[in-house]
Structure 1
């Protein structure tokens, strides 16, 4: 048995870069403890706890179209639906059952049960 550590995704709308190019395809890796601990030291998180999610996503999204490096600025500029999609995707691959990804259309919303929403 092998463990998958990277998962491809397709954003519902796509990240629009400064040249107007839309990037929908990406890859997210599994998070490690450091990915969730390090953001707590960031001063932006001390001012706003919700910012930790942006930092975590910037750490674990390893590819996004032809964007050379995914940063917090990249995540900040995403459409709300894409940001929500990445949050749900993160929950599924790290805390849920990633086999659900095989049953979904690219960019489709996740079933509430898959992301732990009651």
Structure 2
């Protein structure tokens, strides 16, 4: 009979350095991001905005995986476009880390003894959507 391991964690909370300022002036700093799926990685490639400007890929991709930003639950590309540059960079890094695409070293735990150690990442590319 197979052993059940720890539950898969699919949603991660974050806090932006500056925060998104909505139309009424409310600052939203805390949010949640879910793990990306293959569809999330592929669907922006057919988006006309991404075809015209490949740098827009990160904006579209983040809009798909951010599930909450403060009290906002309808996160779309227009919201991500309005983020401060520091917050956008933070979210891009956060995306890479939670999806195992970090270009640095990743921490892994031995399934037998639980010891945590660093492993060099073999993920190619350094931008969102490049795996």
TM-score bin, normalised by smaller chain: 0.7 to 0.9
Q: Which has the higher contact order (CA 8 A, sep 6+)?
A: 1
Match of 1:75 among 71, 75, 80: 80
User: What SS does the corresponding residue of 1:84 show, helix, strand or coil?
Assistant: helix
Structure 1 residue runs without a partner (length 5+): 100-112
The two structures, once aligned, show a CA RMSD in angstroms of 2.1
In terms of fraction of residues, the more strand-rich structure is: 2
Q: How does 1:35-114 map to 2 (within 5 A)?
A: 35-95=40-100, 96=102, 97=106
TM (normalized to structure 2)? 0.73
Structure 2 match to 1:31: 36
Q: Is the contact made by 2:67 and 2:73 (CA closer than 8 Å) also made in structure 1?
A: no
Q: Partners of 1:12 and 1:70 in 2: how far apart? A: 18
After the TM superposition, list the runs of 4 or more consecutive aligned residues in structure 1 that deviate by more than 4 angstroms. Answer: 96-99
Task: Number of aligned residue pairs: give it.
Answer: 103
Any stretches of 5+ residues in structure 2 without a counterpart? 1-5, 109-119, 127-131
More helix by share: 1
